[in-house]
Structure 1
Amino acid sequence: MARLRRKPSFFKALVRDFSNQLKIPPAFYVHFAGEVPRRSLLRTPAGTWNVNVEKVNDGFFFQKGWKEFVHDHGLKLCEFLIFRYAGNLKFDVDVYGRNGCKKEFVMAVSKNDRSLEEGHDNAIRGTQNVDGQGFGSADGTTTSQATCAIKNEVIDVESDTSMDIDEPDTQEDQLHEDSEIGLPRELGSTEHFYSRTQMENPSEALEAAKKFSSKHPFFRAILHKAYVDKGRLVIPKSFQNSCIGKKKYVRLQDSKRRWLVKCTSNRNSCRLSAGWYQFVRDHALKVGDVCVFELIDRNDAVMKVSIFRCNS
């Protein structure tokens, strides 16, 4: 029996200042077939990150995009990473904590676990029934009803082109912030909130999503390639400011389960990051699908997600 060929790999201990760049071991360059890639993809269970490889003196470093990878995975001093090269500029990355154990970025939350340790940046997928209890506020804060100034507004997040969401504060981020804002239609039956409507093309899926109405604040997102493949989804900044606040995590809910997803924000943009890719995979979301995110619980930042599918 032929032996399976193992992927070439290397490990790096996180020492000194690793937050802005990380050096690739020179002995590993032989696996790049004579040409070190200028752009790489780092993959973990939480998603995929674009990270540029830059030459500094005689060495090559992960640089542009690396800082965001560090932030999204909550990497800390004295942890270490194993990089397995999958070819085509792709690395599969495992993260090991100070205790020597592999960090799991997707794990079940027990029904009675109501807290997250401060600084714990793992993406956690809740698997309990939605009528069960046990999901507390991720950052210990609450958001009052009065603070949600846009509770009766609809915010659309739409784009006809793929957006590079790995770059913060881009012009395309601003494009999403400037998308249509309108008033919702009159609230009807709630039965369709969990529907998985199949549509023949993206425009039909969008038109169906536009018929969605609720007494709660919500926004719509057309899933283009970046949202499906890169493990990120932009949240309108106005929606975050008025309804989510500074919470580090939100809970995405369907008719059966909840997923705990990290909310990454800065002054000009807000994104769902670690945990979003798992939600995409669990629901087999594809380019052209439309998701409606409805904030049904402000205190715990629970957003019910309705999916309008596109067949094309």
Structure 2
Amino acid sequence: MKNGDDHFSFFNIILPGQTKFDTMRLPQRFTKKFAKNLPQDATLRGPYGKICPVKLRKDCEGYLRIVDGWELFYEDCRFEGGEFTVFTYDGNSHFEVRVFEMSGIERMGQFHGECSNNIKNNKVQKIDDAVMLEKAGIKPPYLVKRLMSYHCVKVFVLNFSNCSATEHLPSKRATVVLLNKEGRSWDVTYIPKKNQSTFSRGWVHFVNDNGLKEGDLCVFEILSQYEIRVHVFP
């Protein structure tokens, strides 16, 4: 489907059983249309407003695939299987993605994002969210994460992509302290990696003691290198 000379839309279905590690294949017609000017780097923005950097790469069959970042976008959209998605390419390395649930209702969201420290380069919605957090007394640097089921059931680890906010955290494996709004504290193991970092040992106790569940939005306000206050928006 065409939307002007540079804009191009196509749909895709997230199949039941598909996971975040199954890269997204783009239609061959799209690949042919933009073959001469297709960038290797692109961005996706879904229903919750987060802008995710990704890579575009051809597979052995000549189809273009979204890789290196698709898994984070998959998490942010909270795909479960059966969703109908509409991708609109703006002709300048960016895709807007609309997501429709099996009921036919479009998925919408106000809060989004994982790294919200650098407001200057963010879109209007991110600025609005930053103002909202500021009114709540939450100051940067901070990390924003919406919990998925595996963050709070069975697996009990929390992964988040590295951004400017993580520069304020330890550069090596260390124990950091998580504080809730009442001032209670939990020791959690923080493991920094090249592309993403993890809260592992101790995270399960913070989840259980604070009654966190899938869908909760957590804002990790970095107070110091080894101390983080966690604000939870159910």
TM-score scaled by structure 1? Answer: 0.40
Higher relative contact order at CA 8 Å, sep ≥6: structure 1 or structure 2? 1
Match of 1:9 in 2: 9
Q: Distance in 2 between matches of 1:302 and 1:26?
A: 42
- How far apart are residue 60 of structure 1 and its match? 0.9
Q: Distance in 2 between matches of 1:235 and 1:86?
A: 34
SS in 1 for 2:171: helix
Matching residue within 44, 59, 65 for 2:63: 59
Match of 2:190 in 1: none
Match of 2:229 in 1: 294
Please say if residues 40 and 57 of structure 2, whose CA atoms lie closer than 8 Å, have aligned partners that are also in contact.
yes
Give the count of matched residue pairs. Answer: 167
Q: Distance in 2 between matches of 1:177 and 1:248?
A: 26
Q: Distance in 1 between matches of 2:103 and 2:54?
A: 27
- How far apart are residue 42 of structure 1 and its match? 1.0
Match of 1:244 in 2: 207
Task: Output aligned runs, 1:13-52, within 5 Å.
Answer: 13-15=13-15, 18-19=18-19, 20-32=22-34, 34-46=36-48, 47-52=50-55
Instruction: Please provide the CA RMSD for this pair.
Output: 4.8
Q: Distance in 1 between matches of 2:38 and 2:16?
A: 25
Match of 1:95 in 2: 99
Deviations 1:11-40 (A, max 9, x none): 112237643122111111255361332232
Matching residue within 72, 79, 83 for 1:75: 79
Q: Distance in 2 between matches of 1:35 and 1:173?
A: 39
Deviations 1:283-308 (A, max 9, x none): xxxxxxx7545358xxxx569xxxxx
Change (3 A) 1:45 1:177: farther
Identity of aligned residues (%): 18
Q: Distance in 2 between matches of 1:216 and 1:235?
A: 21
Match of 2:115 in 1: none
Unaligned runs of 5+ in 1: 108-124, 131-137, 143-162, 167-171, 185-192, 194-213, 220-232, 251-259, 264-271, 277-289, 304-312
1:216 is aligned to 2:184:
yes
- How far apart are residue 62 of structure 1 and its match? 1.5
Q: Distance in 1 between matches of 2:17 and 2:205?
A: 36
Q: Distance in 1 between matches of 2:185 and 2:79?
A: 34
Deviations 1:53-101 (A, max 9, x none): 2211221111332233223322233321111113432111111111222
Please say if residues 46 and 77 of structure 2, whose CA atoms lie closer than 8 Å, have aligned partners that are also in contact.
no
Q: Distance in 2 between matches of 1:28 and 1:63?
A: 16
TM-score scaled by structure 2? Answer: 0.51
Unaligned runs of 5+ in 2: 112-128, 137-147, 153-159, 188-195
Q: Distance in 1 between matches of 2:30 and 2:230?
A: 47
Deviations 1:260-285 (A, max 9, x none): 41x6xxxxxxxx6xxx9xxxxxxxxx
* Rg larger in structure: 1
